[in-house]
Amino acid sequence: MRAFLSALTVGTAMIAVPAMAQTATTDWTGPYVGVHGGYTFNESDRGETLVFDTNGDGDRDAVRTTTGANAFSPGFCDGRPNSGVAADGCEGDEDSITGGVKVGYDRQMGPVVVGLVADYTHGKLRNYVTGFSTTPASYTFTRTVRNQASLRARAGVTSGDGLLYATGGLAWARVQNRFTTSNGANSFTPNNDEEGAWGYVLGGGYEHKLTDAISVGLEYQWRNLKADDFQVAVGRGSAPATNPFLIGGAGGTDMERLNGRFKTHGVNANVNFRF
């Protein structure tokens, strides 16, 4: 992302100089509506893991067996499991084709164009993290994002019928949380199923006018959203009292994913209709 923004800055500067020396052939001032479609993919979680509180004191603990061994020694993966055994590996996060609509307003001042745009995007992105216990069993936390929106400022410079711009602002998404496990002994109670996640979006793009009323373009967006903690309370169920989740002192264990960030990269083609 940093490389993209650096290239965008250099490109903007290269266009700005000749643009200031010429008369713009089109006027970008006014409202517009548009549609966009493209592809969005998850950013790597970089070792995302699960954390545990076995005694109810709010601190992180290791889940241990009656012999003191780490019950999660098989480890964790950034994906969904192929089985309850860590050696069988995991599949990665699920990226998505996306599409949506937007509405905005631009104001041109010489070669400089500034504006405000709101957009809505629909897709089906899924982000996983899985832990494996020595039972063996798997424990998977899933976030699904179908609906996203943003309110962004954008600023750029014109050159002929083209506009090169940077953009950034507030981002929101509806996040659906899900927990699945191959452990059929303990009971599991999630603390929330659905939530709104807030954050920010940065990016940039290029737009070109085909006519005074129609423009097309290509845009990149990087979104960084902060979701609430997704915690699962692990209870006894049908497990014996020697079950590792039960012997920490609280009669159960709180389990949650460590990283609440949901980061994505998206590239969209745009068609805008101006008034």
**45-63 pLDDT tens trace:** 667 889 999 999 989 999 9
Q: Give residue 49's pLDDT.
A: 87
**Whether pLDDT at 144 is above 70:** yes
Is the pLDDT assigned to residue 44 strictly greater than 90?
no
pLDDT at 22 > cutoff 70: no
> What integer is the mean pLDDT of 29-57?
91
In the prediction, which pLDDT does 45 show?
67
> Which CATH code of 2.40.160.20, 3.40.47.10, 3.40.50.720, 3.40.630.30 fits the domain covering 2-274?
2.40.160.20
Q: What is the pLDDT of residues 67-103, one digit of tens each?
A: 999 999 999 998 999 999 999 999 989 999 999 999 9
| pLDDT band at 21; cut points 50, 70, 90 | very low
Q: According to the model, what pLDDT value does residue 262 have? A: 87
Give the model's confidence band at 221: pLDDT under 50 very low, under 70 low, under 90 confident, else very high: very high
Mean pLDDT calculated for residue range 216-232: 93
Domain ranges of the chain: 2-274
With cut-offs at 50, 70 and 90, classify the pLDDT of residue 260. confident
State pLDDT tens for residues 167-179. Answer: 999 999 999 999 9
Give me the residues paired with residue 97 across strands: 39
Question: pTM for the complete prediction?
Answer: 0.83
